[in-house]
Amino acid sequence: MSLRSPGWLLLLVPLAGLIGAYLLVQRRRRRYAVRFTNLDLLDKVAPSRPGWRRHVPAAAFCATLGLLVVGFARPTTEVQVPRERATIVIAFDVSASMEATDVEPTRFAAARRAALAFVDQLPERFNAGLVPFSGSATVAVPPTTDRTVLRTAIERLTTAEGTAIGEAVVASRDAIRTLDKQAETRPPPAHVVLLSDGSNTTGRSVESAAREVAADRIPVSTIAYGTPDGTIDLPTGDTVQVPVDGPALEQLASTTGGDFHEAATGEELQDVYEDIGSSVGHRTEEREIWQWFVAAGLITALAAAATSLLWFSRLP
């Protein structure tokens, strides 16, 4: 919690003086009672003394003043609020290497299942798009809040030859620019989540694409998916190794301000998607909470009045 007008806290100084004066008066009252030597007569004059109850209205009154002073200081707290116009683009590698079976049942099937779960957990007001890429990259689904269209597109993905990571990054940026009429001059808060299991084999380089997108302040979080031992069988009968190029994806994330993740199983990939979803799903915003303190002050004021009327038939 922080305060926007901390100068008001100086009013706590006279409040502390008031509390000190009250304690001093109570101490003098006890001394006077001790000097009253005829204790039998004192019991007859005041047989029933209020004891601790007489301090309750005073304590509630001081608490009221303290809470109101803190309220005047305009306290704030950090809250998580959904991003307005927030846009997420999923760049999905559909290269032939995704058919590797080092992840059960295949990299492609496990990745598609995790992507569908990720889409389901996004807030309803979020715009989400899809850019599948192999030898080229295309915007299959422009950013939209229609989850049915997005899910259908993910379910219909098929694999092809080539891996154009750089093209996928730029295509994702271009998709974000088409969100609405304001997107060119006032870009929405956006994030690209790129999943790939191989190296860039065609199109522009990953480095140049990263610089372009970084200039637009669009973070690209990358997921290196698969294991170093992944292989695929070619139609010719040959077996080819398809290891993940983690360093290139890590550099892409670093250049654009995103996060780099590694996933070797379907479960790990799902965990990564959940982590990314929670990190881009909201923004931290400071909100004033002075109303809470004023409300608490009014409650303590009512408590002071009620206890004083109940026990002493008068207001404090």
Interval 24-67: pLDDT, tens: 877 776 665 555 455 555 455 555 555 677 778 888 888 888 88
For residue 99, give the H/E element and its range: none
Find the distance separating the first CA and the last CA of the chain, reported in whole Å. 32
Measured over the CA atoms of residue 14, residue 19, residue 24 and residue 29, the dihedral's sign is positive
Top-confidence residue, 244 or 192 = 192
Contact 8, 72 (CB under 8 A): yes
What is the average per-residue pLDDT within 97-125?
89
User: Which pLDDT does position 2 carry in this prediction?
Assistant: 83
Mean pLDDT over 91-115 rounds to 92
Of 260, 255, 166, 183, which is closest to residue 215 (Cα–Cα)?
Answer: 255
Tens of pLDDT along 191-213? Answer: 999 999 878 999 999 999 999 99
Alpha helix ranges (H) inside the chain: 12-35, 39-45, 55-72, 107-121, 147-155, 165-177, 206-215, 246-256, 266-280, 290-312
In sequence order, the β-bridge partners of residue 185 are none
Cβ atoms within 10 Å, residue 14: 11
pLDDT confidence of residue 227: 84
Q: Which residues pair with 288 in a beta bridge?
A: 76
pLDDT of residue 83: 62
Round to whole Å and give the CA distance between 169 and 162: 15
> Closest by alpha carbon to 228, among 213, 210, 248, 242?
242
Query: Per DSSP, what are the bridge partners of residue 88?
Result: 128, 191
Distances (CA, A) of 181 to 178, 186, 187, 190, 197: 7, 9, 10, 15, 35
Q: 3-class DSSP state for residue 43?
A: helix
| Alpha-carbon distances of 180 from 3, 80, 123, rounded to whole Å | 38, 25, 19
Beta strands 87-93 and 75-82, pairing class: unpaired
Q: What percentage of the chain reaches a pLDDT higher than 90?
A: 34
CA distance linking residue 316 with residue 295, whole number of Å = 20
CA angle, 129 as apex, 115 and 144 as ends, to 5°? 120
Residue 33 has what pLDDT?
52
Contact 132, 138 (CB under 8 A): yes
Average per-residue pLDDT for the chain: 84
